[in-house]
A and B are shown apart, each in its own frame.
Chain A
Amino acid sequence: MSFAYGHGPLVLRDVELEVERGEFVAIAGPNGGGKTTLLRLVLGLEEPASGQIELAAERLAYLPQRAQAGVDAPVTVRELVAAGRAPRARFLGPLRQADREAVREAIERVGLETQADRRLSTLSGGQQQRAFIAKALAADPELLVLDEPTTGVDVEAQESLAALLEQLHRELDVTILYVSHEFGAVERFVERIVLVRGEVVFDGAPADLPGVWHDPSHAHA
Chain B
Amino acid sequence: MLDLEFMRLAFGAGIVVGLLAPAVGFFLVQRRLSLIGDGIGHVAFAGVALGYLLNLPLVLTALAVSIAGALSIETLRARRTAAGDQALALVFYTGIAGGVVLVSAAGALNVNLFQFLFGSILTVTRSDLAVIAGLGAAALLLIALLYRLLVAVVVDEEGARVAGLPVSLLNALTAALAAVTIALSMRVVGILLIAALMVLPVIAAARIAWSMRSTMVLAMGIGLASVLTGITVAYYADLPPGGTTVLVAAAAVLVAEPIGALRR
Taking Cβ atoms with an 8 Å cutoff, the residues of A that contact B are: 43-45, 59-64, 67, 69-70, 72-76, 79-80, 82-84, 86-87, 89, 91-95, 117, 119, 135-136, 139, 145
Given the known inter-chain contacts A74-B210, A79-B213, A93-B145, please indicate yes or no for A87 contacting B161, CB distance below 8 A: no
B106 within 8 A of A: no
B101 within 8 A of A: no
Q: List 7 A-B contacts (CB under 8 A).
A: A45-B158, A61-B163, A62-B159, A73-B26, A83-B148, A83-B152, A119-B211
Q: Once the chains are docked, how many angstroms separate the CA of A47 from the CA of B156? A: 21
Binary flags per residue of B148-180, CB closer than 8 Å to A gives 1, else 0: 110110011011111111000000000000000
Kindly name the residue among A44, A64, A74 whose own CB sees the greatest number of chain B CB atoms within 10 A. Answer: A74
Q: Which residues of A contact B146 (CB under 8 A)?
A: 91-92
B32 within 8 A of A: yes
What is the minimal beta-carbon distance from B256 to any residue of chain A, in angstroms? 13
Q: Which residues of B contact A45 (CB under 8 A)?
A: 158, 161-162
Judging by beta carbons under 8 Å apart, are A83 and B145 in contact?
no
The number of A-B residue pairs with CB atoms under 8 Å apart is: 95
Give the interface size bracket for B toward A: 20 to 34
Given the known inter-chain contacts A72-B30, A86-B149, A91-B149, please indicate yes or no for A139 contacting B163, CB distance below 8 A: yes
Judging by beta carbons under 8 Å apart, are A79 and B163 in contact?
no
What is the minimal beta-carbon distance from B25 to any residue of chain A, in angstroms? 11
Closest Cβ neighbor of B216 among chain A residues: A73
Judging by beta carbons under 8 Å apart, are B211 and A62 in contact?
no
Q: Which residues of B contact A73 (CB under 8 A)?
A: 26, 29-30, 202, 206, 209, 212, 215
Kindly name the residue among A73, A79, A86 whose own CB sees the greatest number of chain B CB atoms within 10 A. Answer: A73
Q: Which residues of A contact B165 (CB under 8 A)?
A: 86-87
Q: Which residues of B contact A119 (CB under 8 A)?
A: 210-211
Q: Which residues of B contact A95 (CB under 8 A)?
A: 148
